[in-house]
A = this chain, B = another copy of it.
Amino acid sequence: MPALRVGMVGYAFMGAAHSHAWHTAPRFFDLPLRPEPAVLCGRSEPSVRTAAEKLGWADWETDWKRLVARDDIDVIDICTPGDTHAEIAVAALDAGKHVLCEKPLANSVDEAELMAAAAERAAARGVRAAVGFNYRRLPALALARRLIAQGRLGTLHHVRAQYLQDWLVDPDFPLTWRLRREKAGSGALGDLGAHAVDLAQYLTGQQITGVSALLETLVPERPLPDAASGLSATGAGTARGRVTVDDAAAFTARFAGGAIGVFEATRFATGRKNALRIEVNGSLGSLAFDLESLNELAFYDRAEDPDTAAFRTILVTEPNHPYMSAWWPAGHLIGYEHSFTHQVKDFTEAIAAGEQPSPSFADGLRVQRVLDAVAASAADRSVWTTVPIDH
């Protein structure tokens, strides 16, 4: 079986998740190509060496440009902060490497457009690009999409999506890179809201056409970290700096098919650890999901016998459910990282088949345009702001 040799840039939280997925996917799924975790790339040599050994990568590099130039690499997997996505992805695609890029696709619509254009050029040469909205690969959400695509919900009326976390409630949590605009682009909006927007567009099969939004920074100053990382940091000193991204975002939206959306993303929902929730109500039924119970999908079918019509909680662990025949008998749960393993499976299969993997950079751009409209509306008295959509 031919190999698919992977070079990965970045090895923090996302790097560990992707690394596990590259190792695990071929042992549970029958893949047409054999993924090889070949080269890990990071700026600090001692750190990247240690990480490569720990995470099971054969080699390492300290310069992503050298990585992209290597001819023994087929895929570049980008797990760095959003400000570097565009440069790496475009260079990799132009060098003929398939690219898997973490979300959000970019920190701005301009960058995202450059990336989508590069992906389109690359596709013409059989080179593939995908963005890492991994939650699409959770069996419960893939099942939700299947049910909606089958028409089980009828005409869609409502989408309500929330991504609630609480790791910034402590005002002494330090000012990590995720709280600085130049690195992260935005705060809860891009980190959490991007997932909610992508899911809403994916599940409904409809694009968002306009938004009215509100952004808020609830704790405007925080201690400067000694050593910044993503979600955690240590040794916060006494110096404080300005938070330049949003702590919370809230917006209403309309979809191309007539549905109304209500979105919220926050890092201040005390007690909610990772509550990405989405509910869709249609003329024939409803679906609801919560990432804190990621093996479950709630479903209501209006066509049922009135005595027993009810929301049911599907335990999405049956062999007929998406991805699940590869795992354990019914009733045995999977976890968060399985979404990445499924992402590797789908990405690998698409490359082998010469097809566009999903979600594409164009999908990533569609999310970016919504986030951009959200920011614009929030900056202008929440006024209704249209989102450019495809036709």
Contact = CB atoms under 8 A, between A and B. Distances in A.
A177 to B, nearest CB: 15
Interface stretch (A59-67, A277-285, A365-373): A277-285
Interface string A14-45: 00110110011001100000000000000000
A308 B147 contact: yes
A167 interface: yes
Interface string A297-312: 0011110001111111
Contacts of A262: 250, 262, 264
A274 B383 contact: no
A269 B268 CA distance: 27
Interface in A145-200: 146-147, 153, 157-158, 160, 162, 165-167, 169, 171
Interface stretch (A85-93, A125-133, A210-218, A235-243): A210-218
A332 B275 CA distance: 9
A78 interface: no
Contact of A160 (B162, B260, B312, B337): B162
A55 interface: yes
A321 interface: yes
A205 interface: no
A306 B318 contact: yes
A114 interface: no
Contacts of A251: 252
B24 A20 contact: yes
A268 B382 contact: no
Contacts of A153: 270
A248 B260 contact: yes
B216 A260 contact: yes
Nearest to A338: B335
B337 A328 contact: yes
A228 to B, nearest CB: 16
A268 to B, nearest CB: 5
Contact of A333 (B16, B19, B294, B383): B294
Nearest to A320: B306
A5 interface: no
8 contacts: A157-B268, A212-B213, A214-B252, A214-B260, A231-B329, A252-B252, A271-B300, A307-B314
Interface of A: 13, 16-17, 19-20, 23-24, 27-28, 54-56, 143, 146-147, 153, 157-158, 160, 162, 165-167, 169, 171, 212-214, 216, 218, 231-232, 248, 250-252, 254, 258, 260, 262, 264, 266, 268-275, 279, 281-286, 291-295, 299-302, 306-315, 317-318, 320-321, 328-338, 381-384
Given A23-B23, A146-B307, A270-B282, 20 more contacts: A143-B307, A157-B169, A157-B218, A157-B269, A157-B270, A160-B162, A160-B264, A165-B331, A212-B212, A212-B382, A231-B329, A271-B309, A271-B311, A274-B330, A291-B331, A309-B318, A312-B313, A313-B313, A328-B336, A381-B383
Question: Which 5 A-B residue pairs are closest in the complex by CB-CB distance?
Answer: A273-B331, A274-B331, A271-B300, A312-B312, A212-B382
